[in-house]
Amino acid sequence: MTKKRIGLTTTVPHEIIVAAGCVPVDLNNVFISAADRLAWLERAENEGFPAGICAWIKGIYAAVRAGCVDAVVTVLTGDCTNTRALAEVLRHRGVATIPFDFPSQPEPAAVRQSLEDLAARFAVSLQQAEQVRRQWIPLRRNLAELDRLADQEGRVGSAELHQWLVSASDFNGDAERFAAELGDFLSAVARRPILPPAVRLALLGVPPIFENLFAALEERGARVVFDEVPRQFAMPYDCADLVEQFCRYTYPYDSTPRLADLRREVDRRRIRAALHYLQAFCHRQIEHIIIRESLPVPVLALEGDRPGPLTGQTLTRLDAFLEMLL
């Protein structure tokens, strides 16, 4: 029997979806890796999405309209202010949606309730999802090793780190294959030369929509050794259970746990400076005020709108920022 494909508007406990015998599909990754992603944005706009709405939302909508999933888990709190309206439009188009809410605080009882609610919607128990979590412990440890190799040994490039971590939100729909491919990658990395020294950067914020950011950084002698939000998606740490795993996940909550994570990692990884990616028309841009004023390193805000290369103006700002660090 063909497994149901469940689209995700952001990272959720996909252990629950897999426990239910379904395939998780991160719609952000489908959109950004689609060859005709710009045409998808036009399609969403032709169907009525305003130009002044974030491209990721339009991309998610277009990915669903392209028929890649059977239903969509829509995260209504803890992610994006646009998702509630997106969910309504999807239902209006006849797409089944499954709501999920992160609690307002990473408080264990509240997180457990959120996870149990989602499990109930998939007709599985949290214990069944825990079995999947336990199966994935070696995989999460390998993601931690990837992160360590990037940070401590200079063996993983910025784009490689980003691609592996961002793909961990759904393990590309096949955790077994993902684990095997990651294991092969780590073995290959161990055999290849260490990368040249580079300015150690943190990349903060939602995944950049630029196509050449990492190449541009490395051409200029800089490397991302801390990729904040994709690392959060990957959850590369040992936990006692799913409740702890999702209490430690900083993305859905207010800035307090996030800043604690950022300060710790900036210090621990000897970060020289941070790039804060801001998506055009995203409410999260406002968080830049707190980030800029709370970190002990220089922070450059980079704004992007649609998929494509960095603009000349952005490259000029990046050059000036990196020159200041050298």
Provide the binding-site residues for ligand SF4, judged by CB under 6 A: 54, 56-57, 79-80, 82, 206, 279, 282, 284
- Smallest gap from Cβ 278 to ligand SF4, in A, equals 9
Structure tokens at 258: 């996030």
Residue 131 vs 285, nearer CB to ligand SF4:
285
If you search the block for the tokens 């004023």, which residue do you land on? Answer: 293
- Smallest gap from Cβ 285 to ligand SF4, in A, equals 8
- Smallest gap from Cβ 249 to ligand SF4, in A, equals 15
Structure tokens at 275: 């790039």
Residue 24 vs 304, nearer CB to ligand SF4:
304
Structure tokens at 205: 């914020």
- The answer to whether 316 and 216 have CB atoms below 8 angstroms apart is no
Helix axes 175-191, 137-148, angle to 10 degrees: 30
- The answer to whether 225 and 269 have CB atoms below 8 angstroms apart is yes
Residue 42 vs 267, nearer CB to ligand SF4:
42
- Smallest gap from Cβ 8 to ligand SF4, in A, equals 12
Coil vs helix vs strand at 45 = helix
CB count in 10 Å sphere of residue 46: 8
If you search the block for the tokens 């999947």, which residue do you land on? Answer: 132
Pairing of β 222-227 and β 199-204: parallel
Residue 74 vs 142, nearer CB to ligand SF4:
74
- The answer to whether 122 and 17 have CB atoms below 8 angstroms apart is yes
- Smallest gap from Cβ 208 to ligand SF4, in A, equals 10
- The answer to whether 45 and 305 have CB atoms below 8 angstroms apart is no
- Smallest gap from Cβ 207 to ligand SF4, in A, equals 9
Residue 22 vs 206, nearer CB to ligand SF4:
206
- Smallest gap from Cβ 133 to ligand SF4, in A, equals 26
CA 123 to chain CA centroid, Å, is 27
End-to-end CA distance of the chain: 58
Residue 11 vs 142, nearer CB to ligand SF4:
11
Q: Alpha-carbon distance 193 to 146, whole Å? A: 16
Residue 5 vs 284, nearer CB to ligand SF4:
284
